[in-house]
Amino acid sequence: MIEEKLFLRTRSGDESFGFEKEKRRRLRAVIIVILTAALLAGAWKAYDILWLRHRYLITAYCDCPICINVKSFRNGKFASRKPVYWGGIAADKKIPFRSGVELVPATPTDWFAVWRLLDGRRKFVVEDRGGKIRVRHLDIFFPKDRGGHEAALRWGARRMRIKINGKLAD
């Protein structure tokens, strides 16, 4: 009888020990998940503050009446007086004509858009201005043979960092 009681106590003791172990293991897993999430959130925040906040707005246009609503500006020439071509881009007056700008994609989505919609082209030359083009804004020109309006719409509005004449812009 005594032996049996002892046996029972030991068994139940063992069981509760196993349960405690399982609980601790679960708690540890939860803590690891929370810490990893916090670490990733922190890393993303740092990436956002240090890199992504310098992004420019990059839009696109063609020489259709929707994109250029002043008829005299649809003369097949950029504001720099050069005939329009694939590789020309519009910027605000702070970036002089003939300046080289380079897109610096920051996310896989951006890289994919550049590869897919610009055929991987990242270097453009400032040739145009625009009433709606303010600071930190570039407007990529799509000639008809590059898809024109459709291609401009497909590009839409994206935000990327840029280099101006080889120097990373703030």
Nearer to Zn ion, 62 or 90 (CB): 62
Contact residue for Zn ion among 58, 60, 62, 91 (CB under 5 A): 62
Contact residue for Zn ion among 58, 60, 67, 162 (CB under 5 A): 67
Report how far apart, in Å, the C-alpha atoms of 25 and of each of 20, 90, 134 are: 9, 59, 56
Nearer to Zn ion, 57 or 64 (CB): 64
Taking Cα atoms as reference points, which of 54, 50, 154 lies closest to residue 103? Answer: 54
From the CB of 95, what's the least distance to Zn ion, in Å? 22
From the CB of 166, what's the least distance to Zn ion, in Å? 30
Residue 122 has phi, psi (to 5 degrees) of -120, -15
Q: Is 149 in the site for Zn ion (CB under 5 A)?
A: yes
Give contact residues for Zn ion (rule: CB under 5 A): 62, 64, 66-67, 149
